[in-house]
Amino acid sequence: LGKSGFLAAFSLIFLSEIGDKTFFIAALLAMKIGKWMSFFGSVSALAVMTVISVSIGAIFSRVPDALKSSIPVGELAGIALLVFFGVKTLRDGLSQPADGASASDEELADAETAVQQVEGGKAQRRSALAVFIEVATLIFLAEWGDRSMLATIALGAAQNPVGVAIGAIGGHAAATGIAVLGGGIASKYVSERTVNIVSGVLFLLFAAATAFSMF
């Protein structure tokens, strides 16, 4: 499991996307332009983002090989990034009050602002391809530089890139599926504090598993 990257990528991406801005964008778009268009447009953009992120991590991990270095700098850097994200996410989760307001409210507000450019009435007057491209572009821009993108880069550097790519795309697809089927309801049952704590622990566990697999 430490080398495959699938389980690490799927679980981390799935958890980090629940209640995220792109999660709510997909949910809002599903109500405006339809569930299937929202799902496939969102997942297509997230898949492209995943391939880019994993490629960045994989290229970085292979720099030491090109330089004929005996030290696995790429894997060590990936582990360091996983530890960094784990500590930061865990600290953010523990610092939030158990009964405090969820940060997902802010994510929802950001998503509503972003989705205003894709109105149902206007979408009906455009071709399906034009709407698909607009949805994919909106999701891609919203996800760029997000925590899940950085986590995918770290996993791509530390573990098997193919397993990470498949797992991350699967995690995005699962989270997006929940979003288009009823994201607003689902996010109310999963607090931001719980997601951060569980994600932080998983980051640290997979960092340890990756380090163990190097021996």
- Determine the Cα angle at 146 with ends 73 and 22, to 5°: 145
Q: What is the pLDDT of residue 121?
A: 46
Instruction: Please say whether the dihedral angle defined by the alpha carbons of residues 7, 212, 50 and 198, taken in this order, is positive or negative.
Output: positive
- Determine the Cα angle at 201 with ends 45 and 43, to 5°: 10
Is the separation of the CB atoms in 6 and 163 below 8 Å? yes
Q: Note the pLDDT tens digit of each residue in 81-112.
A: 677 777 877 787 777 666 554 555 565 566 66
Q: Note the pLDDT tens digit of each residue in 30-68.
A: 877 788 888 999 999 999 999 999 998 888 776 655 454
Residue 11 gets which letter from DSSP? H
Residue 184 gets which letter from DSSP? H
Q: What is the pLDDT of residue 115?
A: 64
Q: What is the pLDDT of residue 11?
A: 85
Q: What is the pLDDT of residue 46?
A: 93
Q: Note the pLDDT tens digit of each residue in 148-202.
A: 888 888 888 778 889 999 999 999 999 999 888 875 555 555 556 666 677 677 7
Q: What is the pLDDT of residue 120?
A: 47
Residue 117 buriedness (CB in 10 A; 0-12 / 13-18 / 19+):
exposed
Residues in the chain: 215
* Mean pLDDT for the stretch of residues 132-147: 83
The answer to whether the pTM exceeds 0.85 is no
